[in-house]
Amino acid sequence: MKIRRSVLIILSIPLLLFEAEAQVRKAGLNSAAFLKVGVGARNVGLGSASTSFSEDVGQMFWNPAGIALRNSSMQATLSYNKWIADLNHNAFGLSYKLEDIGTVGVGVIMFGVSGINAYRDIAPSSQQSQQIDEATSDTYNYLDLALQTTFARNFSDQLSLGVTLKYINQSIDDATESAFALDLGSVYSIGTVASFVNDWKFSARLSNLGSGIKYFDVESPIPITFSVGTSFKALKDDESGDLLIAVDATKPQDSPQLYYVGAEYVFAKMFSVRAGMKFNYTGADDGGTSTRAAINQTIEGMSFGGGVQTSMGDYGLRVDYAYTSMDILDAVHRITLSVDMK
């Protein structure tokens, strides 16, 4: 109990440090905004209410404590997302259990688009010394990249802690900048307390605590995010199936307080359906100023999804899909393939 309280207090301290600053921030001031885009079809299908999940390699992109393995020796995941404006958002993760030491994982996130037509403003010869754009190609590429390594450990049957170290790189045309960041996380399992509250878990995570990214003498912070979450199975029966309920309270550095809610029903131990919503997110605005009206900060709506899983000896295979509705722009589709080895 003392360990759990200490962990939650430690993870809460950074929130207090940027809470006051967040009150005067406006949307769009963070660099590396691709880190805000959810990874994994199951997570997003649940409205991104996934801070409290455990034993899942995909948690390295959410709560590092969640990758700690108990019943598996290795897991891998590959996620594909055709994001808005033809942006490609792909991620890969691999975790391995080191016996009594803990679980280690490596992951990569790639976000970008290539072959963008370049309309270059060429300075006359008399002003060549002031020319900023020195590239000459007819097209250019945009790529955001995050490389990360994660370590998590089960400190008891109830408590798991984890940490992720990230290298973040953003490049557009011939300009590139980078930063380093840290994620911290915890998951505490209470277990079953009633017939309608099974596998009850609480969690906390602090994401993207690190240096900013600087372009042309202007530095922007990466998107620090603090979340607490809980999940439980309201129904857990081999015949009727499992019904999971998950809720997260999330505070981004440059946005209002957000609430994520999701539900997942698994039947026949093979098929699953999901739905999720982000409250105070869709239609949230920045409050405006005395000289302009409020600006809508997001276009993302509800998420729906499903999946199928099967086992073949010591191997498990799961395929998940998620659909996210968008305001004005086309809907977003995600597909994730996960492999588990006992």
pLDDT digits (tens, 9 = 90+) for 304-320: 999 999 998 889 999 99
Q: Tell me the per-residue pLDDT of 123-151, one tens digit each, with 9 for 90 and over.
A: 566 666 666 666 677 788 899 999 999 99
Q: Tell me the per-residue pLDDT of 210-260, one tens digit each, with 9 for 90 and over.
A: 988 987 778 889 999 999 999 999 999 878 889 999 999 999 887 778 899
Contacts of 29 (CB under 8 A, 6+ apart): 220, 221, 254
- Please give the C-alpha separations between residue 331 and each of 92, 303, 306, in angstroms, as whole numbers: 23, 10, 16
Higher model confidence: residue 155 or residue 292?
A: 155
Q: How confident is the model at residue 6 (pLDDT cuts 50, 70, 90)?
A: very low
Question: What is the DSSP annotation of 199-232?
Answer: EEEEEEEEEEEE--EEETTEEE----EEEEEEEE
Q: Tell me the per-residue pLDDT of 76-86, one tens digit each, with 9 for 90 and over.
A: 999 999 888 88
CA distance 286 to 271: 40
Q: Tell me the per-residue pLDDT of 34-70, one tens digit each, with 9 for 90 and over.
A: 999 999 999 999 999 999 999 999 999 999 999 999 9
Contact in structure between 169 and 154 (CB atoms under 8 Å):
no
Reply yes or no on whether the pLDDT at 91 is more than 60: yes
Which of 220, 215, 282, 219 lies closest to 255, judged by CA? Answer: 282
Amino acid at site 236: K
Q: How confident is the model at residue 26 (pLDDT cuts 50, 70, 90)?
A: low
CB contact burial 95-130 (16+ within 10 A = b; e otherwise) = bbbeeeebbbbebebebbeeeeeeeeeeeeeeeeee
Instruction: Name the token pair of 56.
Output: 């899942």
- Please give the C-alpha separations between residue 201 and each of 52, 174, 306, in angstroms, as whole numbers: 6, 46, 22
Which CATH superfamily includes the segment(s) 2-118+139-341?
monomeric porin ompg (2.40.160.40)
Reply yes or no on whether the pLDDT at 181 is more than 80: yes
CB contact burial 176-191 (16+ within 10 A = b; e otherwise) = ebebebbbbbbbbbee
Among 13-17, 109-113, 323-327, the minimum mean pLDDT is found in 13-17
Contacts of 159 (CB under 8 A, 6+ apart): 3, 4, 7, 186, 187, 188, 189
